[in-house]
Structure 1
């Protein structure tokens, strides 16, 4: 403390004089009330001060562009937690921040009390875009009420050590939240002012300039001076870190104090907006990411309720209620807790409070007591459930409500109307689950479309846990989708940002997709077809129909076989499920499928000289083409595909994998005898050493299309047996990975059938094939014994 005072040139007597004359002078024209954001004790004394001081005007730390929204915040229909969401955009990019308010936030209490008394109120702080240039980290969710400097000062850290407190939050609760209830309002304000000023003295003017605090304080001083000229009694409510700065101007330019313009970084022209929006306890909790105000928001709301009802010893009352709730919750989850555990925890809270010099046990005593009484043995993942449940109770899961107002964003209202109609739960935080039967229920298809649409705009609203993945082409055999979703203020914030695209969810999604389409090269037909599919999944049938001409034009320009096959796969999938996807007219879609098929077939001659990395994708493309060519539907059944396959099989440079695919397809279409599959395998197996090593690749291609060639034909099995017998050990070991890959095409039942045939080939039982391999040392020893016995028999002429 002495070192801080020496560095700042300010002693405690001077600080007390400043407090008496300029901060808490109830006879003067302006009274300053320093607070910590989201502090029940600050709000408790603020109400007392307003009743004592009876101000004509209340000035509040908050974004000055938010003044038109004060009426919305003061409305009885607005139920915290709520927030002001400020977003701006300039040539350097886009950024945003939140100004959260809880029922016990001093700022919110002041707004409501001013409205109740008919007193004008005003926000006086700079808008966030003036300060964004001072942020050095990458874009993240930020609060406009950042208290990092206050909590992280050297003064606070040393004070925590001296007071044996583990954190600034624990220190604050001990001194102000619990200790402050027994003090007069004057004593409480003096303590807050002293602590915050001492923290501020740990920073140099250059640090405060870089953080933007000097610019903010200069702007707030301008507002205060303006109000002081118009009103006799002005109450100024700001974070305690700023109170000293509002009283003492820091010289930042020649000639004395600087205006807020002098201390602002140069910024590009900006367009900005601010909206009232719902907020959640989880997001307001400082432990969940915001260095702003008190943690454990639900816990302190209970404290605030007891304070408003003028209950004695509110912390003890809340501890009893919470321990009872925690015990019931743990029992409902089959945790072994007893009433005696809860009684012991309550007793320990009182003992810890006495040991730590507190009149009542706060949240930290509650957590320590629960850890000791409810955790049996060591705290591990297996025993942590009581602490997890307690943390959820302390944080809460409530979501606020904003009164109807002209500032509402249409897309947010559209989203809430959809949720209400489809019975989605957005009134509380936490995950909710929906299982959708897509093929049986129309309402479930609409829900799926809503999830797809909102997820496209706001990725973290919902997640599909299981069900058909149309885009990735996985699990298409499933008929049900399982979604989990969770509502939060971040969802609403992202929807507000998406309002640039349109006033409804579907308008915004359609506009966003159209913009994305402009960045796709006009010959990438596969990507365009994927966008069409996604539009249909979101219920944007009109958008999908408008894409027909773009996809057709891309198909005609696309010269890549894999891209065309990708388009064909997507378009054919859409056509197969056209009724589910809401397509009434099939004619245009059918023409797209036919054109994609023909264009892909025309690119078959390119496959003779392709990169091996592409072979797996080429195989899938050939499988799709063969399926369509083998269908009875016109015009897929033509001779072009068969002719090109024949040409490829005559090419000596055709890679082994593709040769296996082509001969399997051709034999399946009846153009070549099935024996040719085994004959071509024999040419690899009995060819040169290099050809022999290519056998596994050839088999991969065959098995991808025609597993029957191995399951029911002996010739290929015998050839493979010959290969294994002839290969040198090192070559065989080198081929094993590719052979394993080839046999992954077979199902477990087919593998069992193969095992029976192999057992028959060697005239052994099938079970013998499952026996563990014999240790090599045992084999060597047995061979030595066998040789010794043979020599002994020869000596005795027994053989």
Structure 2
């Protein structure tokens, strides 16, 4: 009898039924369900970690909704983890549910996670940015690119079979041979026999075609199968990856299998169920378990009949929600086109490629833009699974779930924006939770720029829940049993371990945002100690803005920030004393960095002066003295001197005549062109509104123009990059206006020579007729009737 003539696994006398499947394959899932219904085994053995046997009953809980995943993590190192994801169309999930519904014993038979995680720790470091990247479960590993036939088998045996059959797409081959060819009642085992023969041929040709660990895993599976047969007899069914079926069929001794498992490293592990997402399923695993179209596969598994018609109707509904005109006629025509394409391509039924082409041509009018939406929302999908509350979890996870429920912040796989008004109690509590989670490294929410308001009472968050965040929560569990306690302990530890002063001030800001009153004293102690010992003005200048920003949070959040005021004032005084000598003898790169420090300190002082004026005097006045000293010292870098003059001018501490005089001195022939160009960059460069300053003050523009035209030819090439960097950042309209003013020349429109009295660049006398034109608008804005005209006239007179 050939392997094609016998059922897979043989009869009860020959051994267990072996159902080789494709992970996350709806066709395999349907075939497994039909085969189990026909065979009615007493025990169902499933590829997976045996530590999860105690979690199997939860699969029947009404609150359990796939996609979900088994999560195993090391107790002492929660970041070392592995996932075993399952969707409703996964054969393993179907086998679990069948066993629970029919009273059959269900067990996992793969290599225990205690060995898997330890083995992965010895072989490789965690993948950067992947919480489960070190987990050796196939779904958690990234395959290497294939280099040859054996490597191709290692990545995906189905790809090799598809290529052998003349297909260039493994997904299309799988759809044709499995998804689109239903098995009759009499041959429910035939698909497994055919797949076993194919895998046997591949293994005979290429050997194991996988890592050495596969041999150990298969030995463990054989031992588990023998143990199950001793308990319930030969009435056992095994559901595993098709690649492993030939190895499980092979006759070996128990002693030889135990020898392969002898001496394996171990780590203490915990295991639980966690929600999974369709998007995460679309990422390929170690043996190609990832699928490109989980939403499409879920549809194929759930559709009772006419899957193409139902799918295109679903696509039409999505496009209508996005205000695209799609009628029932579009759906009918798309169905016809998909069927025609399948016939032309020799396929038994339209697949995803045919339906996609039909949607593009009929419903999207040839555009790939709406088609991208269809792929994102339907082909991949935003489905997020749910796990019952009775599932094992670390105390921190339970506290987080309680807070999520109380604050009505449900985790979602689709990215969304959340607008918070911190004046509302619920929104303020949501903000605190998200900031505390960020402190713990759980990046569920990321701050985003607010579009509706710039007030400090509003926050915008971008929320996106990923399954890997469950690992981050488990990792953070070492800091405490509640989110508040864990964030407090983590902040204190981070303060002690911080390397730079700016890191400590940033941490103080985050403690205020997260409202951690118990952590703030420790952070402030470390901050005061670091500030007293740090003599680097650059470090002090970097630390001050974050510290000053923190002082604002007392207004809306009700946080007591008095402890910060004294530290901020002392830090500012040290910056004032050390800044002038630190700005001398700098090269171009260091000078540009110092200019940024000056800008940051200036903005911080503007906020700090109001907050601590009563206790620490006129700190803004002292800062202006520092800027005056910087503006006139010849040893200070030109870009810093120019920036100091500009800041003084913007604050009204120097007049425009004085600023013009200082510019004239710098642009005199006695100053090196490179130094003069650096001064100009500091004064009018960057996004500081320098372009508009030149537009409205033609005296300054005339000085710059006269200097630029007088730069010697041999020096012009050296200063050109600096000038280009200065003026290229101006908006296009500003550059155009400046070009027109320069083309006209000085004196044509309020130039420097005939500016006369009043503000330079403006007429010497107000335009009375234009001033009177605003009276009706003022009356409307103030809600005044005609009888109040005299009051409005008084206002206009004052304006004049």
TM-score by length of 1: 0.77
Show the counterpart of 2:431.
448
Corresponding position of 1:771: none
Offset of residue 245 of structure 1: 0.5
Q: Secondary structure at the match of 2:554?
A: coil
1:201: how far off? Answer: 2.7
Q: Determine if the alignment matches structure 1 residue 237 to structure 2 residue 219.
A: no
Aligned counterparts, 1:309-320, within 5 A? 314=305, 317-320=306-309
After superposition, the Cα gap between the structure-2 partners of 1:178 and 1:711, relative to the gap in structure 1 and judged at 3 Å, is closer
Correspondence for 1:535 among 508, 511, 517 = 511
Give the Å deviation of 1:107: 1.9
Q: 1:198 to 1:640 in 2, by over 3 A?
A: same
| Structure-2-length-normalised TM-score | 0.77
Aligned mates of 2:608, 2:47 — CA distance in 1 = 72
**Residues 1:112 and 2:97 aligned together:** yes
Change (3 A) 1:131 1:189: farther
Deviation at 1:752, TM superposition (A): 11
1:44 pairs, out of 30, 44, 49, with: 30
Residue 333 of structure 1: aligned partner:
322
Residue aligning to 1:324: 313
Deviation at 1:217, TM superposition (A): 0.7
Shift of 1:101: 1.5
- Between 546-555 and 104-113, the greater mean CA deviation after superposition: 104-113
1:403 aligned to 366, 374, 388, which one? 388
Contact 1:283 1:289 (8 Å CA) reproduced: no
RMSD: 4.4
Do the aligned partners of 2:496 and 2:526 also contact (CA within 8 Å) in 1?
no
TM-superposed CA distance for 1:344, in Å, is: 3.0
1:57-96 CA deviation, whole Å, 9 max, x = no partner?
Answer: 32211111212211222333322111101223789x9532
Distance (Å, rounded) in 1 between the aligned partners of 2:83 and 2:388:
18
1:129-163 deviation digits (Å, cap 9, x = unpaired): 26536679946557835598896689855643464
Tell me the secondary structure at the aligned position of residue 69 of structure 2: strand
| Structure 2 equivalent of residue 301 of structure 1 | 298
CA distance in 2, matches of 1:555, 1:408: 42
Counterpart CA distance in 2 for 1:756 and 1:175 is 72
Matched, 1:520 2:513: no
Deviation at 1:703, TM superposition (A): 5.8
Does 1:594 find its partner at 2:569?
yes
* Structure 1 residue 466 displacement after superposition: 1.5
CA shift in 2, pair 1:225/1:652, >3 Å = same
Q: How big is the shift at 1:287?
A: 6.6
Could you tell me which residue of structure 1 aligns to residue 137 of structure 2?
A: 144
**1:56 offset after TM fit, Å?**
3.0
Is 1:572 the counterpart of 2:525? The answer is no
Matches within 5 A, 1:367-386: 367-374=356-363, 376-377=365-366, 382-386=367-371
Q: Which structure has the larger Rg?
A: 1
Alignment of 1:51-62 (within 5 A): 51-62=37-48
Structure 1 residue corresponding to 2:416, chosen from 432, 451, 460: 432
Which of 575, 595, 603 lines up with 1:616 in the alignment?
Answer: 595
Map 1:770-789 → 2, pairs under 5 A: none
> Whole-Å Cα distance in 2 between the matches of residues 711 and 364 of structure 1?
58
| 1:608–1:648 CA contact under 8 A, matched in 2 | no
Matches within 5 A, 1:715-730: 719-720=703-704, 722-729=706-713
User: Could you say which residue in structure 2 is the equivalent of 1:467?
Assistant: 450
Q: Which residue of 2 aligns with 1:15?
A: 3
> Retained in 1: the 8 A contact 2:495–2:523?
no
Deviates most, 318-327 or 757-766? 757-766
How far does the alpha carbon of each residue in 1:461-486 deviate from its partner, in whole angstroms, 9 at most, with x for none? 334341399xxxxx966764433323
Task: Report if aligned partners of 1:298, 1:393 keep a CA contact under 8 Å in 2.
Answer: yes
Q: What is the CA–CA distance in structure 2 between the aligned matches of 1:267 and 1:362, rounded to whole Å?
A: 45
Moved more, 184-193 or 450-459: 450-459
Unaligned stretches of 5+ residues in structure 2: 144-150, 752-800
The CA distance in 1 between the partners of 2:424 and 2:331, in whole Å, is 48
Match of 1:199?
202
Specify whether residues 641 and 535 from structure 1 end up closer, same or farther in structure 2 by C-alpha distance, changes over 3 A only: closer
Q: Does 1:686 align with 2:668?
A: yes
CA shift at 1:532, angstroms? Answer: 0.6
Matches within 5 A, 1:170-249: 170-182=172-184, 184-205=187-208, 207-208=209-210, 210-232=211-233, 233-248=235-250
Q: Distance in 1 between matches of 2:369 and 2:733?
A: 44
Which residue matches 2:531? 555
Aligned equivalents of 2:172, 2:617: Cα separation in 1: 74
Cα distance change on mapping 1:134 and 1:213 into 2, 3 Å: farther
CA distance in 2, matches of 1:412, 1:551: 31
Q: Give the Cα separation in 1 of the matches to 2:601 and 2:393.
A: 53
Helix, strand or coil: the match of 2:109? strand
Q: How far 1:556 sits from its partner (Å)?
A: 0.8
Question: Which stretch shows the higher mean deviation, 532-541 or 656-665?
Answer: 656-665
1:100–1:279 CA contact under 8 A, matched in 2: yes
Distance 1:666 1:402 in 2: 61
The one-character-per-residue Cα deviations of 1:616-654 (angstroms, maximum 9, x if unpaired) are 134325635875898754524379767777776786533
Q: Which string of whole-angstrom CA distances, capped at 9 and with x for unpartnered residues, describes residues 205-254 of structure 1?
A: 4x44x342110011111112222222223222222211210121579xxx
Residue of 13, 17, 20 corresponding to 1:31: 17
Q: Indicate conservation of the 8 Å contact 2:68/2:86, yes or no.
A: yes
C-alpha distance in 1 between matches for 2:244 and 2:608 = 77
Residues 656, 228 of structure 1: alpha-carbon distance in 2 compared, 3 angstrom cutoff: same
CA distance, structure 2, for counterparts of residue 577 and residue 566 of structure 1:
19
Distance change (3 Å), C-alpha of 1:432 and 1:701 = closer
CA distances 1:410-456 after superposition (whole Å, capped 9, x unpaired): 33333333333333343x53222222334x43433333333333345
Instruction: Tell me the CA shift for residue 99 of structure 1.
Output: 0.9
CA contact (8 A) 1:60 1:122 kept: yes
Q: Which residue of 1 is the match for residue 147 of structure 2?
A: none
1:596-624, Cα deviation, whole Å (9 max, x unpaired): 12222232344334442433134325635
**1:486 and 2:464 aligned:** yes
1:337 & 1:323 partners in 2: Cα distance?
Answer: 11
8 A Cα contact 1:180 1:188, kept in partner = no
How many residues were matched structurally?
Answer: 722
1:73 aligns with 2:62: no
Moved more, 727-736 or 625-634: 625-634
Counterpart of 2:205 in 1: which secondary structure? coil
Residue 49 of structure 2: which of 63, 70, 89 is its match?
63
Q: Distance in 1 between matches of 2:324 and 2:435?
A: 38
Q: Alpha-carbon deviation of 1:23? A: 0.9
Asked if 1:83 is matched to 2:58, the reply is no
The 3-state SS of whatever aligns with 1:76 is: coil
CA displacement, residues 304-338 of structure 1 (integer Å, 9 cap, x when unaligned):
345xxxx5xx3xx2211111222232234344544
Task: Answer with 640-649 or 491-500: which moved more.
Answer: 640-649
Counterpart-to-counterpart distance in 1, 2:313 and 2:689: 66
Aligned to 1:5: none
User: What is the SS of the residue equivalent to 1:25?
Assistant: coil
The one of 491, 509, 521 aligned to 2:487: 509
CA contact (8 A) 1:532 1:547 kept: yes
**Structure 1 runs not aligned, ≥5 long:** 1-12, 470-474, 768-799
